[in-house]
Amino acid sequence: MEANNIEISESIPASRKLQASDARGLLKSVSKLIVAKGKKVSEFVVKDRVSRDAVEAMLGPTGNLRAPAIRAGKTMLVGFNEEVFTTTFS
């Protein structure tokens, strides 16, 4: 984050497990969700109703929110992909 001059406004420790209900809550404040799982990247347009597919994409195999989860303005990025990260946050 420091290399890209990104200021972190809130950091949640890994010991606090965020689940589906937390993921839904996070999506209420964004209009675009990008989920990166390795080389696979999925994009969701978030409207009035949060889709089940979007929430499921945000969760890992244990049912917890995948890391990192970054919200910048109206865009949320879950997971890491160097190309997506660079394009979205530079």
| Residue 82 φ/ψ region, left for φ over 0, alpha for ψ in the -120 to 50 degree band, beta for the rest | alpha
Token couple for 41: 């990247």
> How far apart, in whole angstroms, are the C-alpha atoms of residue 53 and residue 43?
11
Max distance between CA atoms of the chain, in angstroms, equals: 35
Contact 37, 77 (CB under 8 A): no
Per-residue pLDDT tens digits of the chain, which is 90 residues long: 555 566 666 777 777 889 999 999 999 989 999 999 988 999 999 988 889 999 999 999 999 999 899 888 899 999 998 898 888 777
CA 11 to chain centre: 13
